[in-house]
């Protein structure tokens, strides 16, 4: 799964995954991605990041919070959308999948 960093920094110990730049991409197995996100990494699936509408220049011009503070209003709106996507993704991963309850056999009396 390809994930994109939308805020802050993170490091997954004992893995090559370390992020500190807005827009940085990571290819991670689903279980490691889940662990990273639930441990606080502000990551979103690439499709969600792409849907926010960032262009390459914006990603290059605003790689960190210091520079993002002086970004255009249009960029800040996209960034807010990306951060909302990160929160929604974390909530999705934190919510257990519904389990199907086995049907209880019905007692038949003769």
Give pLDDT tens digits for 40-80: 999 999 999 999 999 999 999 999 999 999 999 999 999 99
Range of the domain at 76: 2-94
How far apart CA 70 and CA 8 sit, in angstroms, is 17
- pLDDT given for residue 105 in this prediction: 62
* Mean pLDDT to the nearest integer, 1-6: 95
Which positions ≥6 away from 78 have C-beta within 8 Å? Answer: 52, 53, 54, 58
Q: How is residue 110 written in tokens? A: 């003769």
**Is residue 110 a part of any domain in this protein?**
no
- pLDDT given for residue 26 in this prediction: 93
Burial (CB count within 10 angstroms: exposed 0-12, middle 13-18, buried 19+), residue 38: exposed
- pLDDT given for residue 16 in this prediction: 79
- pLDDT given for residue 15 in this prediction: 76
Task: Tell me the Cα Rg of the chain.
Answer: 19
**Is residue 47 a part of any domain in this protein?**
yes
What pTM value is reported for the model?
Answer: 0.82
3-state DSSP: the chain helix, strand, coil percent, rounded to 5? Answer: 40, 15, 45
**Is residue 100 a part of any domain in this protein?**
no
**Is residue 104 a part of any domain in this protein?**
no
pLDDT at 82 over 90: yes
pLDDT confidence bin for 99, thresholds 50/70/90: low
**Is residue 109 a part of any domain in this protein?**
no
Q: How many domains does the chain have?
A: 1
């Amino acid at each position: 799964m390809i994930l994109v960093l939308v805020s802050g920094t993170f490091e997954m110990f004992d893995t090559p995954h370390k992020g500190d730049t807005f827009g940085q991409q990571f290819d991670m197995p689903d279980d490691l991605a889940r662990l990273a996100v639930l441990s606080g990494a502000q990551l979103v699936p690439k499709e969600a990041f792409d849907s926010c509408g960032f262009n390459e220049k914006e990603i290059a011009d605003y790689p960190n919070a210091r520079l993002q503070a002086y970004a255009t209003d249009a960029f800040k709106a996209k960034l807010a959308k990306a951060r909302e996507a990160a929160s929604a993704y974390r909530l999705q991963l934190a919510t257990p999948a519904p389990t199907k309850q086995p049907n209880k056999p019905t007692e038949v009396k003769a």
